Copies of this chain bind each other. A is one copy, B any other.
Amino acid sequence: MDNTLAMIEGEGRQRILAAAEKLFSAKAFDAVSMNAIACEAGISKANIYHYFPNKDTLYLAVLRVASHNLRAVLNEAVSAHGSVLDVLRHFARNHLQALLNRPQLVRLVWREILERGAPRAQEFAEQGFADMFSALVDVLKLGQSRGEFRQDFDPALVATLLLGANVFFFQSRDILRHYPPITFADDPAGYDAGIVEILLRGLVPASS
């Protein structure tokens, strides 16, 4: 079996998937026409149907690849070594940075989470969530078992809080930027550093 042949055979499919990913990332399912995808891919509309039986299948294929890639990017970003505190700080910062580095993938997957009550979204989205939650919960539990953290908080709750802070930042960055008292809209690293410090030390003075 010749590799070159396999690559050529897959080339058309790849072009379509890339074009579809780009367009589906920018607009919702119904707002993207097969015609637009064909134009973006530089092929004819009918040719798409040689590779995919219908629009829905194409969309699902795009979503499958995208969520897989996003998951890999995120998992890669948050892997770290060092003390519990260092790992936590790096997790927060790198997770957010990974989101900001791949805005299209995030938008694509996240829209699926928000729009569809359908079961297919969950399949992909939950994987990414589960990875992040597991990693983060493990870090927090380790901190607890070592006595570096309190024992009386729920690690899953803190994980939700931290992931939510990053997702919210990613989603509403443009709005945050236009709101005067906010100075960190263009400083994601500073944002996460501030958040982690607050989480660690709390709002109430230590003397209390």
Residues of A within 8 A of B (CB): 27-31, 107, 110-111, 113-115, 117, 122, 125-126, 129-130, 133, 137, 140, 143, 147-150, 153-158, 160-161, 163-165, 167-169, 171-172, 174-176, 178-179, 181-184, 191, 194-195, 197-206, 208
Contacts and interface: CB of A to CB of B under 8 A. Distances in A.
Given A114-B114, A156-B179, 4 more contacts: A155-B181, A161-B161, A165-B168, A206-B206
A56 to B, nearest CB: 13
Contacts of A204: 148-150, 200-202
Given A171-B113, A182-B160, A203 B143 contact: yes
A111 B197 CA distance: 31
A200 B152 CA distance: 13
A184 B157 contact: yes
